[in-house]
Amino acid sequence: MFPKKAIIAGPVYLHLTPDLSSKSIVSFSTPLQPDQILDSEGVPFGVGGRAAATGLALHRFGIPVHLVGKVGDDRFGEVVLNRIREISPDLAGGLVLDPSTSTGVTIDLNPPDGVKSTQSIPGANNTFYASDIPRADLQLADLFHFTDPAAMRSVYRSEGGELLSILQRARREGLTTSLDFSLPDPSDPAGAVDGSIVLLNCLPVVDVFFADAADLVYLYQRDVYDRFAGWPNGNVADEVTAELLHALSEQVLSSGVEVILIKLGPRGLYLRTASPAAWKKAGRALAGFSEGWHGREFWAPAFKATGTKTGEGSERLVSGFLSGLLRGEEPGIAVLMASAMGA
């Protein structure tokens, strides 16, 4: 069975990683002083952002992918486009060049034996709208996946109004809609938006939904979240039970979602799917799925990672699951693919 086609939309950045391997932890033990300079051994660069990471991973898995996002009409945007085109000329066809703004940039500071931090300049990501998605692209695809809406001001403001417009546009063209949702840092501007209201508005037009367990507990059972967070371990995902996962997934599925995949870190993945009646509006990517996808619920273990982790594990996990889904695999296989790719 040939895999179906996917559009991956969301934030795209030029990603810079200064090489600080020659620096000692002492260099970062105190705040930087005015006019202080830290030498770098070089600045490796590439394409960043969760949309790019998800789309590139899907491409490597053999799925026909079209990236949709926005960069500035500047040198950084040119670098991003060229890097993506080097991988595949067709991948970058949905990236909009906006001369009125600059390309988004992320800078990773990862000192040896220190704490990694990331500086983010959203740039063009803050001006992405439903009108930036060509209708012709939607007509040629089967799945529309949106990731990291909290990183795009135009998308998350007004309680996710633009996110709803984006998903509705994909739904009108007959695509299966997919959303990878995460909460922003409370100190970020997006942190002032009520995520539960965003989901209340948008989930009725979402078919496949991804979220971290801790985020769902925070949104739907805040008292439980506060209790878990106050325990010595302080890791909410470590305390989540099967009963709590069932209750959280029930709230999401009752909004009309057909498939929910909850990420539990080293504890694995929880998958639950809706009853047969809900699958009638599932879009092209889910069309013709067997009864094996209806009314399923299971908790899959995480794979133990081997070798060195390179980051972007969550995006690879999502890509692994979507790859299985777009190939028409049974749910158990799709979850195993997600666990393996995310390890």
pLDDT tens digits, residue range 201-240? 999 999 999 999 999 999 999 999 988 887 766 688 888 9
- Rounded to the nearest 10 degrees, the angle between the axes of helix 313-326 and helix 50-60 is 50
- The partner residues of 125 in beta bridges, in order of sequence, read none
Q: Is the pLDDT of residue 49 over 60?
A: yes
- The partner residues of 106 in beta bridges, in order of sequence, read 15, 120
Q: Determine the average pLDDT of the residues in 45-58.
A: 94
- pLDDT for 237 equals 83
- The partner residues of 47 in beta bridges, in order of sequence, read 14
The span from the CA of 199 to the CA of 221, in Å, is 14
The span from the CA of 331 to the CA of 337, in Å, is 10
Torsion region of 173: left, alpha or beta (phi above 0 gives left; psi -120 to 50 gives alpha): alpha
CB contact at 8 A, 241 and 213: no
Q: Is the pLDDT of residue 1 over 60?
A: no
- Stretch among 59-73, 229-243, 271-285 having the lowest mean pLDDT: 229-243
- pLDDT for 230 equals 76
Domain 6-22+41-342 grouped into CATH 3.40.50.300: no
Q: Determine the average pLDDT of the residues in 316-331.
A: 95
Q: Is the pLDDT of residue 26 over 90?
A: no
- DSSP tag of 75: H
Q: Is the pLDDT of residue 132 over 70?
A: yes
Q: Is the pLDDT of residue 35 over 80?
A: no
Element (H, E) at 87: helix 75-87
What's the pTM value of the predicted model, to 2 decimals? 0.92
